[in-house]
Structure 1
Amino acid sequence: MQDLKSALERQALAEGFAKMRVTRPDAIPEAMDRLRAFLEAGMHGQMAWMADRAHWRGDPAALWPEARSVIMLAESYAPETDPRAATRLPDRGAISVYAQGKDYHDLVKRRLKRVGRWLLDEARRRGLPGEIKVFVDTAPVMEKPLAQAAGLGWQGKHTNVLARDLGNWFFLGAIFSTLDLPADAPEVSHCGSCRACLTACPTDAFPAPYRLDARRCISYLTIEHHGPVDPELRPLLGNRIYGCDDCLAACPWNKFAVEARDIGYSARHGSPPLAELAALDDAAFRARFAGSPIKRIGRDRMVRNVLYAIGNSGDAALTPAARALCEDPDPTVAEAARWALYRLGIDPEA
C-alpha cells in the first residue's frame, strides 16, 4: 500500500495540488467535544447547518462507515500582493482573495475527482478494488482537524490551517476511500508565542487563541449572516464587502506560500467601485458574479454590505448611491442605506 500511496501523491502533485497527506476517519476523537462546545456557546451564529448535521461533522467515521482512509489535499490560491491594500481604498470594495476568481468548489472538486479516478484505476490494476467519495467544504466534514491529523498542517491561532511549507493560503479537499492507505503522522502547532493573526482581526473575533466567535468575524458577517448587522460592528467592517483576509495575511508563515497553479484563481473582481455595486439589481448582480462564490449571497446581502462600506467611506460623493436605496424593497438594504447617510452626516429624510 505504501507504493500505491507514493504513486498517488505524485499524481496529486502532477494534477496541481500543493501537498497530500493521509489519515484515518477515526483520527479526530476530540472533534465532537470541541464542536459541541462551540455550538453550545452559540458561536456559530446563524449557521444552523453546523448543528443540524453535527453527528456527522464531529465523527467522520459515521459519515461513511466503510471508509478506511481520508486523503487530505491542499490547493494553493496564494495572492500575488498583500490583500490588505484593498482595505485602504474607501470608495471601493474589498473582496476576499479566495473569491476573486472562479468558484473554488468547482475547481478543487474537479481536480479531486481526477485524482480519485486515477487512484481507483491504479488500485484495480494492482488487484485492489476500492471506492471513493470526494468532499470540498459543502459536506459535513471537518476538513481542518482532519488536515492536522494527516500532517498536512496545523490549525493556527486563527483556526485556519497553515503549514511550514505552504503558509495558510490554500484550500482543503478530502477523498474518503475504502482502500487502507498508510496514515501519516499528525502535525503539531508551530505558532509559538506569535499573536499576529489575533491582533490583526478588526472585530476582535478571537476570544482566545485557537477559538473563533463567528458572530464577530467579518467573513461570517458579510457572507453567512442575513438581516441587519449589529450597528456596533458595522464601522469595524470598513470597506470589506465579501469576506476578510486580515488574519490570514498577518501570518508570518506566508513567507513560504507557494504560487497558485490554477489560473482560475487569478483576480477577476479586484476592488470594484462601491457606487457601481450599489446600483446592481438582481439580474445585474447575477451576471457580474456568475461562476463566482460571491453569487450565492445574493444581490440584497451584497448591496447591504456595500452600503455599510459607503457609510464607512467618509466620501460624500457616494451620497447619491446610498440615497437611491433608502426605499429599496428589501428592508435590510433600505435600513443600511439610511444608516450610510447618517454616517456621512446627511439626514436621509431631508
Structure 2
Amino acid sequence: MGGRELKEALRQAALDEGFAKMGVCRPDAIPQAAERLAAFLSKGRHGQMGWMERRSGWRSEPGALWPEARSVVMLVEPYTPAHDPTDVLARRDRGAISVYAQNRDYHDVLKKRLKRVGRWLLEQEAGEAIKVFVDTAPVMEKPLAEAAGLGWQGKHTNLLARDLGNWFFLGAIFTTAELPPDPPGEEHCGTCTRCLDICPTDAFPAPFQLDARRCISYLTIEHHGPVDPELRPGLGNRIYGCDDCLAVCPWNKFAVAAREAKYAARPDLLAPRLADLAALDNAGFRETFSGSPVKRIGRDRFVRNVAYAIGNSDDPALRPVAQRLCDDADTTVADAARWAAERLV
C-alpha cells in the first residue's frame, strides 16, 4: 500500500475508532516550538515542573525521542461538556473540578484507543513499528498537532480548531512508516482576547504566552506546598484545574460532542460540597476519586485546594469546617485552613 493510500486508510480506521480528526507531520516539524520552550524555561515560567527542563531536549526535538520515527500521527478526541462548566463558579459552597477530570482518567481511555489504531497500522505494514503517547512522555503534542494541520495554539496556548472548538484531547502515534504530511494549521484568533481577559490570576503575560506559576491549573495540580497568598483569592472555588480560558473561546460554537461515555461528568463531581470534600481522609479520597485524574495529586494537596475554596466562599457557615483542618497533620493543609478561617470571621 502506498504512503498516501495508507494514510487515508489509517484516517478512516481512526474515525471508525471514534477519533474526530487525524493529521500527520514529520518529527522535525516544530523548530519554532523549541525556541518558545527555551524562552519559557529561561524565564522560570515552568515553576516546580522541573521535568520540563530536564527533558527539554526530547521535547524540543521529537526525533531524538525515537530516531527511527519517520512520521507522527496526531489524533483528536473531543470531551466537550454537556453542561456549562462556569455555572459552578457562582455556587461558592461547591467545588469546581475541571471538565476533563469529572470522570475516568483520559490517559487510560485514550491510550487504549490509540493502541487499537496503531495495531491496525501494523497489520497493514508488518515491517513497521509504532510508539503511542498520551501526555505522559516528553512530547509536545500541541505544536505537533498544529504542524499536522489539526488546528493552532491559541492565545491561551491551548490547541483549538475552527471545526472543533478547544474541548479535546490529543494523542500521538510515532511510526517508522513514511506517511505524507498534512499542511500545518493556521492561526485564526484574530483580535479576540476573551481567553486572556477571563483569567482570574493574570497568567498570560502576553498573547500566546503562559506563566504557569500564575495558572490555576498549575497551582491546583502541579504546585506542591502553600500557594502564594496573593494568588489564593483568584482561585475562587476551583479545586482541581480551571476551564475559564477554554470555556469562553468563540470557536466552541463548532465544538463536537464527546462520543466516549467515560468522559461524561459523574453527577457527584459536577458541583461537590466543599464541606464533604474537606472531611476526606486518605482512604476516603482514594475511594472518591478512584479511576479519576484527581487521584494523582493525593489527599493533602486536594484538601489544601478545598481549604482555599472555603476561604473564598464568603460563607461563615463553612468556618467550622476550616477550623477542623487547622491542626491537620499536613502543614500545608493546616496553613490553608487557618487562612480560610481568618477570612470567614
Residue-pair matches, total: 341
Please point out which of 5, 11, 18 is paired with 1:9.
11
Q: Return the letter of the residue paired with 1:22.
A: V
Distance 2:171 2:42 in 1: 28
Residue 146 of structure 2 aligns with which residue?
148
Residue 334 of structure 1 aligns with which residue?
334
> Please, which moves more after superposition, 131-140 or 313-322?
313-322
Q: Return the letter of the residue paired with 1:177.
A: T
Deviations 1:101-125 (A, max 9, x none): 100000110000000000110223x
Residue 73 of structure 1 aligns with which residue?
75
Deviations 1:30-53 (A, max 9, x none): 222211110010000000010011
Residue 85 of structure 1 aligns with which residue?
87
Residue 226 of structure 1 aligns with which residue?
224
Distance 1:95 1:158 in 2: 19
Asked whether the 8 Å contact 1:31–1:59 carries over to 2, the reply is no
Please point out which of 41, 44, 61 is paired with 2:43.
41
Residue 61 of structure 1 aligns with which residue?
63
Distance 1:257 1:107 in 2: 20
Deviations 1:20-68 (A, max 9, x none): 0000000011222211110010000000010011110110010000000
Q: Return the letter of the residue paired with 1:180.
A: E
Distance 1:29 1:311 in 2: 44
Q: Does structure 1 residue 298 correspond to structure 2 residue 298? A: yes
Give the C-alpha shift of residue 277 in structure 1: 0.4
TM-score (norm 2): 0.98
Distance 2:248 2:163 in 1: 16
Runs of 5+ consecutive residues of structure 2 not aligned to the other structure: none
Any idea what SS the aligned residue of 2:234 has? Answer: helix
Deviations 1:216-271 (A, max 9, x none): 00000000000000001101110000000000001000000000000000101211
Deviations 1:144-203 (A, max 9, x none): 000000001100000000001100000000000000001000011000111011001111
TM-score (norm 1): 0.97
Any idea what SS the aligned residue of 1:14 has? Answer: helix
Distance 2:75 2:186 in 1: 18
Any idea what SS the aligned residue of 1:83 has? Answer: coil
Distance 2:157 2:216 in 1: 14
Asked whether the 8 Å contact 1:38–1:44 carries over to 2, the reply is yes
Residue 252 of structure 2 aligns with which residue?
254
Residue 52 of structure 2 aligns with which residue?
50
Give the C-alpha shift of residue 319 in structure 1: 1.5
Q: Return the letter of the residue paired with 2:190.
A: G
Q: Does structure 1 residue 162 correspond to structure 2 residue 160? A: yes
What RMSD over aligned residues (CA atoms) do the two structures have, in Å? Answer: 0.6
Q: Return the letter of the residue paired with 2:330.
A: D
Any idea what SS the aligned residue of 2:75 has? Answer: strand
